[in-house]
Amino acid sequence: MKHRFQLQVGPVAFRIGSEWPQPIEQLKALYAGYPAPAHGLCDFTVRLEAERPWRRWLRPSVAIRGDYTLPDAVPMALAHGLLAAEMGMNLQMALGQKRFLLLHAASVERDGRALLMTGDSGSGKSTLAALLGERGWRLMGDEFALVDLADGRLHPFPRAVSLKNQAICVVEQIVGPQRLGPTLADTPKGTIRHLRPAEGAVARMGEPAAPALILFPRFGHARAVRPVGAAEVFVRLTQASTNYVALGEPGFDALTRLVTGCPAAAIDYPDTASALALVEELA
C-alpha cells in the first residue's frame, strides 16, 4: 500500500498500510521513539482502505481490515483515521493472537510485581494505568495484558493509551503536549486523545513481569475494597479475555495459574486521587 508504517510493541510487530497519508503521519508522530520490528518481520497486517473505491475521495470512509477482519465493522471518518489504525491493531490482537492469553486489562509494574486492572468500559482502568505510569510505576499496557502460556508472566504491550472524555483533561495537566496525539472529537466512544507512554515504559517493552495482584476498579462509588473469590475472578477474566475459548486447554491452564497464584480485590472509588491512594495501599 502507498502509505505504510511498521511498529514493534512489546513482543508484537505490526505492519500498517493506508490509502491516505494522514493516519500514517499521525501514527508516526504518536509512536516516535518506538523501535522498528526486530529483523523487519511483522506478526500482523492492518489495512486502512476505502470502504468503496469512490469513498477514497468522496466523503472518505476508512474500513478497518487486515489479516483478520470483522465482516460487519462500521467504517470511520478519515478525521478519525488514527483511531481506525489503533482499532485495527486491537482487532488483529483480539482475533489473531494465539501465543498469549489475552486479557482486556490494563497493567503496570513496580519492583518486578505487576498489577492487573480489569473492568467494563468506563471503570477507569486506562486512566488509572496512565496516571500510575507517571508516578513511579512502569506502564505495561492499557488495553491488553498478555499472559505467557508457558510461564504465566505478563508481557508488556505498551501501545498509546486511549484517553476518553474527562480523563483527557486530567492527563493534559501532568503530561506535555509532545506526548499526546490529536484530539479526536465525536468518535463513537466520545472524545479520544492518545498518550504515548513514558520513555522508560517504551525502553523496557521487552521485559515481562510476574503478576502480583488483580484489581477490579469501579469509578463513581464511595471508596470500598471487597475481596473477590477465585471462582469469580476466573469467570470475570474469561469474560475479559478475547481468546480464552480459542486457545482451548492452554488458555484454561494459563488462567488457572494466574487466578490461583494471585490475590484479587474489587475497588470502588469516587475520584482518581482516592483510587491512586487505594492502589498504593493494596500493592
What residues make contact with another protein under the rule CB under 8 A? Answer: 1, 13, 15, 17, 37-43, 45, 47, 49, 66-68, 96, 98-99, 246-248, 250
Of 229 and 248, the one with the shorter C-beta distance to another protein is: 248
Of 102 and 212, the one with the shorter C-beta distance to another protein is: 102
Phi, psi of 208 (to 5 degrees): -75, 170
Least distance in Å: CB of 151 to another protein?
A: 15
Cβ of 271: how many Cβ atoms within 10 Å? 12
Of 18 and 118, the one with the shorter C-beta distance to another protein is: 18
Of 32 and 41, the one with the shorter C-beta distance to another protein is: 41
Phi, psi of 108 (to 5 degrees): -135, 160
Least distance in Å: CB of 17 to another protein?
A: 6
Q: Which helix (H) or strand (E) holds 199?
A: helix 199-203
Least distance in Å: CB of 109 to another protein?
A: 23
Residues shown for the chain = 283
Task: Tell me how far apart the 2 most distant CA atoms of the chain are, in Å.
Answer: 56
Cβ of 174: how many Cβ atoms within 10 Å? 10
Q: Are 85 and 16 in contact (CB under 8 A)?
A: yes
Least distance in Å: CB of 198 to another protein?
A: 27
Cβ of 156: how many Cβ atoms within 10 Å? 27
* Integer Rg of the chain from CA: 18
Distance in angstroms (rounded) separating the CA atoms of residues 140 and 136: 13
Least distance in Å: CB of 208 to another protein?
A: 15
Of 108 and 247, the one with the shorter C-beta distance to another protein is: 247
Q: Which helix (H) or strand (E) holds 255?
A: helix 249-260
Least distance in Å: CB of 64 to another protein?
A: 13
Of 37 and 182, the one with the shorter C-beta distance to another protein is: 37
Q: Are 88 and 48 in contact (CB under 8 A)?
A: yes
